[in-house]
Each structure stands twice: as C-alpha cells, then as structure tokens.
Structure 1
Amino acid sequence: MAQGTVGGDGARGVAASGLLPADLWPQVLAVAPESTAMVLGVSRDVRTSVLGGLTCPRQRTQHPSGRLVRGSRGYHPLVNIPALLASRNLSLLALGRSAGCPWDARFTAAAARSPHAREALRWARQECHPPCPWDARVCAAAAEAGDLELLKWARSHGCPWDSETAVAAARGGQLEVLQWLRSQGCPWTGSVAPAGNRAARKGHLAVLQWLNSQGFACDKATMATAAGGGQLVVVQWLRGPAGCEWDAATCSAAAAGGHLPVLKWVRCNGCPWDGSTSAAAASAGELGVLMYLKSAGCPFDWRANAAAARSSHTHVMKWLKEAGA
C-alpha cells in the first residue's frame, strides 16, 4: 500500500474490500483525517471494530440524544455519547463528532457526567472550533459530583448556572460545594426547599443541617421524604433537634418504601397512621410491611385492595383476602 494520507474514498474502498483486518482500523483512523468517518457507513464489522460498544443498538425508538445520523450508506446508529466519553480517546471523540455526534449542549452535559469530565470538557470547549455549546447542566453535574475544581473552571469560562445547581449539590451530599455556591451568589431562593428535600431523601444529614441553618424550614413534607428514603437517622434528627412535625404521610412513605425500621420507630414515637398507610404498602407490593401493619393494628379499608389490584400485585390481593383485610 502506498504511503500517505488515507482519504475518505480510499478508506471506504479498503473497508469494502476486506483487505485490512478489522482490528487494525482503530489504529488507522486515529491518524486519518476526520472525513474518514464515512467508513462507518460502509461495513458493520468495521464499525463494530472501530467503535466497539460505542454505538447504540439499532432500533426504531428515538435515541435519548434526539436523532439518528445520516451516513453515506443510509442511517447508522448514533454514537453512544457516554460510552464514547468514557473511552478517554480524543481521536474517537473527534471521529464521533465527524460521524454526526450532536455538537450542542447535550454533548457537554454528557461530558460533565462522564468519568473524565475535566478532560472531555476542556477538549470540547478549548480545543475544538467552534467550541461546543454548554448550559447550566454542566454546573449541575459538577456540583452533584462534588467536583469543585471543574465547577470553578466552568464558571470562570462563562458557563451558566441556575437553581438546579444547588439542588444537585444537595442531592449528591456535597456540603463544601453548597457552601461555595452560596458564597458566590448562585440562584438560591428557588433552590432551598427542593435541596433540603433531596438531602433528606438521600440521607445527607450534614447538608440538611446546614441548609436548616440557612433558612430551610423542615416540615411534614421533609419528614415524609426522609421516611420514604429509609433514612432513620435523618427522621430522628428531624423529629428531635429540628422539631419537625409529622402525620400519616410519614408512615405511608415508609410503608411504600418497605422501610420497616423507620416505620416501627415513628410508630413507637407517636406518629399517626390510617388506611392510606396500608394502601401505600399494598400499592408497592410490600407484603412483609402489610403483615406488620395488620399485626400492629393499622387500619385497612377498600383502598388496600384497590391499590394492589391497580398495581397487579396478585400475591398481595390473595393475602388481603385470606387475612380478611
């Protein structure tokens, strides 16, 4: 084979001929011009060799990234962006871009969630022209991952943020990031309540305590959210030092989640329950919880049977009938 650059037509010809072993294509395309990406539309074997598991299975439903890419020989599956980013191969990233990978905020949002977010984002924003667009999802992903360095870098380069940034940090239990966001004027008013509830559900007590010191008022909804997440330590703090109220929704949330330790603790400490509690357990198919509720005297009414039927939990329906509930 003559030395020199392998152009798009040449690459297609070699691929079609089968003269080059498939396992050598990644090495060839790593140094070939971007136009060589047309080879992806020539041979399924070559495409599999080059991108491996980086393409999405062929299907009629729309890919989450929003579209399929038109290749030189019809449609081929769009490159799987998360898998492509996880490869840490900048040549493959460039190849994916030339093959039709969406070059918009969807790409940078996926990059921010990838294991190598800093490298991928710097490539997309600083080494590519034009730079790939981005939006507040980048800051939210960095905040949830606790990557303060990436968050600072993104902000210093003009990446926007919004109220979801603080919520994401709370969801990830990232107290240091939350404190930095607060000090830097990140949108806050609309963030406090959802951030507190995310922290409660995930069991991030330190985050919840700090948010409480910053004006987050814990209420019955917070209590039910923590119970639904099975977060006994958070429930105990909410009921004790935070002085948070509760109602039957707390028992119902714990029952629906199958969290017996939480359910037993709140009942022992006076939390009310009613027919909605047994209905919640029935809807979730939590037979063990239902047995406890029955033995502990929790009210049962028509809602339990209706919930089990609606959710097609035949084993629960059978037990309810046998138990006379």
Structure 2
Amino acid sequence: MGDILIAEWLVEQGAEWRQVSDVIDGYVANQGRLDVLQWLYARGQIEKDLLLMLSAANGGHFHVARWVIEVIEPHDGGTRIDTFPAVVFAIHTAASHGHLEIAKFLRECTKEVDASELEGLDGVVVIGSIEFVSGKTMREAAEKGCLDVVQWLYHEYGHDVDLFVNNDGTPTNAIDGAAGNGHLEVVQYLHGFPNSSDLASRKRKRGDESAIRSVPTCTEAAMNAAASHGHLAVVQWLHENRTEGCSTVAMDDAAASGHLRVLQWLHEHRTEGCTTAAMKNAARYGHLEVVRWLHYNTRVGWVYERSYGRRGDEWTSKHREMAACASIGRMHCRCDELSCRTWRVRRRKMASRESE
C-alpha cells in the first residue's frame, strides 16, 4: 500500500475509482504517509474524516496531524467546532503514546474554540478539552516512561482535571505502572508531589476554595512488578523512599523470571520472603542458578504431589535440590542441558554416598 506511481498508472488506464474507506484512510495516516493522503485528497477521495486525526496522533506523525487541521478542515465547509471532539480525544491519544509535540499542537487548536460554542455540543462538557484528558491519560504516559508528557499533563491540566483517579473514582496508581516498567525518573517525579494534607494547607493559606485534587498513589504492586521485571534500581529506590513495601509475589516473580540479583537483594533487605511458587516456577522456566540459590538460601521447600505420602515428604525435604533438578528435566527447561545433566548426576552420587 502506498505506491503512488502504480496508482497513477491505474488511473491513466481507466481503472474504476472506489471510495476509499475510513479504515484505509486511517491506516495511511497512522503510517505517516502524507504524500498518499495528499494524492487522495487532491482527487476527491478523502472527505472530512475524524479518524485521520486520531490515527495521526496515535502514530506520532505531527506533519499529518497539522495537515489535517490546516488543510482538510478549513476547506471542507466546516468549522473548528465540528472537529472539536476528535481533536480533544486525539490529545489523549497523542499524550498516552508519548507524542508530546502533537499533544501540544492540538491543545493550542482547542483553545481557539470559545467555550460558549460548546453549549449545544453533545457529549462535551463546557470546560474546554479537559474532559477527554483524564487519569487514564496520565497513567498510560507514566507506564510508557514519558516523563516530559507526564510533566506537561500536570502543568496544562492539573488545575482542572483530577489526573490521578480513574473515571470510577478509584486511584490510578500511576507510580505502580511506571515502577513495573522500570521508569525510575517518572517514579521519582510522581513521588515528589505533596500529599493531600499539604495541598489542603497550602490552599487554605492562599484562600483557595477549589477542590483538592488527588495525588499520585502507590501500592505494593509497584515493588512486586519492578522485581518481576528485573528492575533492581527501582526496587531499591522504592524500598528506601516509600512505605508500601511488597509481598511474597516480589521474590516469587523474580525467581520465575530468572532475576537472581533481584532475588538476592530482596532476600537480604526485605522480610516478606517467598513461597513454594518461587522454586517451582524457576524450575519450570529453566532458571537453574535460581533453583540452586533458593535451595541453599531459603526454606520454602519443594512442591510435591500429595500421593507421595509421608515417605515422599521426607525424601523431598532431604533432597530438594534433586527434586528440583528432576522437575527441570520433566518440564523441558530452557537452561543449558549439559549443565543440568551434570548437576543431576553429581547430586545423585552425593545422595548415594549419604545413604551408604
């Protein structure tokens, strides 16, 4: 798609025009092919299409978004108010994908619309474009690590929109998302917000009676997710600067993902520990070094079937390392096969000598 020379040749040969669908328009805009859009528009194949704006914003193509605003809309018999809903939703789309330049440009376009013009527009609250930028926008920008977008959203919309709650009133926990993806700078920025009581005190001193907006929140899911994805620096920072802590999920998931350094650090600095899921999943996914470390440094034990009975319990307790390694073999581990086989043989010999 997008070969203009072939399209020109087909037209010259008398090929029949078919109305370009909105889906095709949107795809071309999402790919940033302004040349194709201009070619189609010059031949009357593009009508006013709000999908173009959203697709350009989603793909991060500023030149396409500007062209739609400056060329198509003014010459299509409409007014800015006609495209207002698409533009303001495109701000959310651009911001949540980290395309700050587009978000800023579109935001300026909405300021050209007088609030009085919005009175009769269905689905638009008379407070400008802020009803389309929400806590979801902030959360998605934070999850992607777009610090510049997070800062811009707060300074541009923070006075009018509660950027840290969902539409149902629950906290967005934006810090959790940023931490889970390893975006420490975003975590630190959001952490730096004053708490609700401090905000209320400042407003009272200024005589400001406006509503108190929410502040960024964090849960134990932040450290859990950071550990699961191997972001040790984030785990350490949360440990030193936040009070939410973590749960056994942190070590369990770190083990399952093979993040041995994270596992070791949590074991030394945190008290939550891990469960039998740590060794089971480390074995399942072939992390032999993690299985070894868990065997020598934790007391979580090995998961065995109840049908093994008491004797099975005693054997598994005594030979957890052998049980773990045997399980690795059964579960088609992704670790080095030779290393696993050598280790298994060595442990069998040791067990044999112990029984003599």
TM-score norm. by structure 2 comes to 0.55
Aligned to 1:172: 98
Which residue type is aligned with residue 163 of structure 2?
Answer: A
Alignment of structure 1 residues 73-92 onto 2, 5 Å: 84-85=1-2, 89-92=3-6
List alignment gaps of at least 5 residues for structure 1: 1-83
- Could you list the per-position Cα deviations for residues 139-182 of structure 1 after superposition, in whole angstroms to 9, with x for gaps in the alignment? 12322415142341454457772765223211223142352365
Alignment of structure 1 residues 134-213 onto 2, 5 Å: 136-144=50-58, 145=60, 147=62, 148-152=65-69, 153-156=71-74, 157=76, 161=86, 164-170=89-95, 171-174=97-100, 175-177=103-105, 179-180=107-108, 182-183=110-111, 188-213=130-155
Query: Does structure 2 conserve the Cα–Cα contact (< 8 Å) formed by 1:167 and 1:198?
Result: no
Alignment of structure 1 residues 266-285 onto 2, 5 Å: 266-271=238-243, 272-285=245-258
- Indicate whether 1:253 and 2:169 are aligned: no
Moved more, 289-298 or 178-187: 178-187
Q: How many residues of Structure 1 are paired with residues of Structure 2 in the alignment? A: 235
List alignment gaps of at least 5 residues for structure 2: 114-127, 165-170, 196-215, 301-356
- Could you list the per-position Cα deviations for residues 83-117 of structure 1 after superposition, in whole angstroms to 9, with x for gaps in the alignment? x33xxx412346799799994222212211224x2
1:264 positional shift? 1.0
Moved more, 96-105 or 288-297: 96-105
> Of residues 210, 233, 236 in structure 1, which corresponds to 2:188?
236
TM-score norm. by structure 1 comes to 0.59
- Indicate whether 1:107 and 2:59 are aligned: no
> Of residues 273, 293, 304 in structure 1, which corresponds to 2:266?
293
- Indicate whether 1:118 and 2:60 are aligned: no
SS in 2 for 1:161: helix
With over 3 angstroms needed to count, the CA separation of the structure-2 counterparts of 1:114 and 1:273, relative to structure 1, is same
